Structure 1
Amino acid sequence: MEELFPSLSIFVLFLSLGIAFVAGFVKGVVGFAQPLILISGLTLFLSPELALAGLIIPTLVTNAMQALRHGPRAAWVTVQQFRVFLIFGGVTLVIAAQMVRVVSEAVLLLAIGLPALAYAALQLGGVGFSLTRRSAAVEAVVGAIAGVFGGLSGVWGPPTVMYLTALGTPKADQLRVQGVIYGAGAVALFGAHLTSGVLRAETIPFSILLILPAVLGMWAGGKVVDRIDQVAFKRATLFVLLLAGANLIRRAVI
């Protein structure tokens, strides 16, 4: 293995595999947070560029699996149901990606992390907030916000999770919806970094290496989520959202 990755020690490689497994497991249980866990964990001992390259292909693969877990027909129904979210999110993601050098990353991370942390903490503390029905206007606004965050930072999970949780989306539907939404974003991220130079001959093998542990982790997490009820699923989702929000704030401050 060291022959394939001469710049990385065997310890670093196995540590990277372990982080990818944990990230996949969490995604298998709650449907999101894989990129956050990968980028947070890998940047402890790898360069930010290699860490970013490492998460791109596993994220693309696991999101495709998540979106297609109940078959292509169910995924297509989800695309139709959330087309407003996807359209507005896709448009703003493309526009916002052109402004990466203008907006401070720290400000952006705080703008995502603080509301996510506050929302999850209030929900876990028993302060309820819910949407009684879906609204095209609300969905357009949330989709646009998620797209802006995704285009500028690559993080579009928290706004999406907050919206789906507020709707009280059943766990199977929520996992599939997240897979479709994040999958569309992962395709855009993959294409963008093929041209940016982050994904290249030296970094693609490392990203491919992390596919298997991420998939195995997601499979293990899927076994867990099949055994828990809707209430436990919601609490697990909010807890991960709480940690994700705290981590975004940490990254902004540090």
Structure 2
Amino acid sequence: MSVTYTGTFWSAVTRALLSLRRDKSLTTEDEATALSALGDIESGDYPVTALNEKLALLSRSDSPQKIGQSLLGYLDFNKMGTFHCFLSMARDINAAVDALHTFAPPLFEASEELQINKTENQVTLTVKAGILADMEPFVVAFLLALFRHLAGRNFDFNQIELVHEHPEWLLASVSEANCSHHHPALAVTFDAHWLASPSFFYSPKLQLVLAKNLQPAGEGGFKQDLVDAFKQFDTPAKIRSEAVSELLGMSE
């Protein structure tokens, strides 16, 4: 299977699992090979089927809760990539979701399609991506970790729709969301009131630095790009205008 996955994201997930297992004294027969594969995973040169198998092995324990209950705390946005780090500094979940339309870099793999459906009461984020079964829990884990980072630890999904069946759901101990399987795409649904919960990690200046290395999405035209860009930054007006011009590559 040919999948061009985002190597920095999946290497960060692998590092998180290795670190977690070491701290919990969980025997890992495959630790040495996983460690030696990190470079190839990060560069995207490691076969995706082997990566899927590696994640399955590293997720295994006599009790799934041992991995799942601590996983979110080991995920490091700074190790995942520029876009992941940028999202972790968003003003709130709403700004982070808007940024998914503003920028082009893939979060998980090159062919992914992210769709956001907002209603008055709830939000559904759908991820159509060419990932394998044992990679799927970590996409959900990232989204849950990101939104809790922005909105607080009480955030949770209401519904998680999965493509593959997971008899022992890795995140069962940290999320009360109802999980269902065999859907055409992965999707998470949460209450709309979480969108505007302010993040204490909001950093417009650091976002501006990171934005210089992010490729803007090519759809929607300049007007939509401008609207989306302004949503990323607050006042004062001068800083906001400078930030938006930098974001659109029009600072000169």
Rg: which structure is higher? 2
Which structure dedicates a bigger proportion of its chain to strand? 2
**TM interval, short-chain normalised:** under 0.3
Scaled by the length of structure 1, what TM-score is found? Answer: 0.27
Q: Which has the higher helix share?
A: 1
Q: Which has the higher contact order (CA 8 A, sep 6+)?
A: 1
Give the TM-score of the pair, scaled to structure 2. Answer: 0.27
